[in-house]
A and B are shown apart, each in its own frame.
Chain A
Amino acid sequence: SQTIHQWPATLVQPVGSPLSLECTVEGTSNPNLYWYRQAAGRGLQLLFYSVGIGQISSEVPQNLSASRPQDRQFILSSKKLLLSDSGFYLCAWRNKGGFQPQHFGDGTRLSIL
């Protein structure tokens, strides 16, 4: 069966510090991968998605970036965090094709001080 691992679960970072969140998927190959952010009490905001190694699509302009160095690895990064980067970050995967649901990792709760 497929599993998704996302870490760390919580993170407290100072403003201006770098960020690296990692997500890996097991039990499937060539999935679509996604990074979302959810502010407290708000809906999901799609940040990036990837349909293959090295292929990244950005949904919103921001100081974040994403990379997919391996088929089942998706990394979210920032060189300098802003206060507004605080939130709940969720990685997700989905098999290609229609009628395929998306499956989420446990999420990372990021607080910027």
Chain B
Amino acid sequence: RKEVEQDPGPFNVPEGATVAFNCTYSNSASQSFFWYRQDCRKEPKLLMSVYSSGNEDGRFTAQLNRASQYISLLIRDSKLSDSATYLCVVHYTGTASKLTFGTGTRLQVTL
């Protein structure tokens, strides 16, 4: 089983739609969690950290479920500019120096 698993998609949604991605992780000793966004042929960029109580940043909401070992990202009112690949990232306490990246979920927002 992969350490971090994501549905590769693509998720094709119309503008204005709400879309949610899930990401599961295998190591219960995971300490911190992030969502990154990667545009085609560009570097990944931090979208948001994921806090235990859940957190929101504008149209984006991140949730953490430690019991079921998954994190989620909800995007409301999708924009064309949200089209990208979204990477789930996990930091394990036993690997102090390394973050583990999922392979990403591709989102395509259409008119």
Binding site for B on A (CB under 8 A): 32, 34, 42-44, 46, 49, 51, 57, 88, 90, 94, 96, 98-107, 109
Contacts and interface: CB of A to CB of B under 8 A. Distances in A.
Contacts of B87: 44
B31 A104 contact: no
Interface residues of B, number: 22
Contacts, number: 49
B43 A98 contact: no
Given A98-B91, A99-B31, A101-B34, A46 B98 contact: yes
A100 B42 CA distance: 21
Contacts of A44: 44, 87, 101
Contact of B97 (A43, A49, A103): A49
Given A44-B44, A88-B41, A51 B97 contact: yes
17 contacts: A42-B103, A43-B103, A44-B44, A49-B97, A51-B97, A57-B97, A96-B96, A98-B31, A98-B91, A99-B32, A99-B49, A100-B32, A101-B49, A101-B99, A104-B43, A106-B43, A107-B43
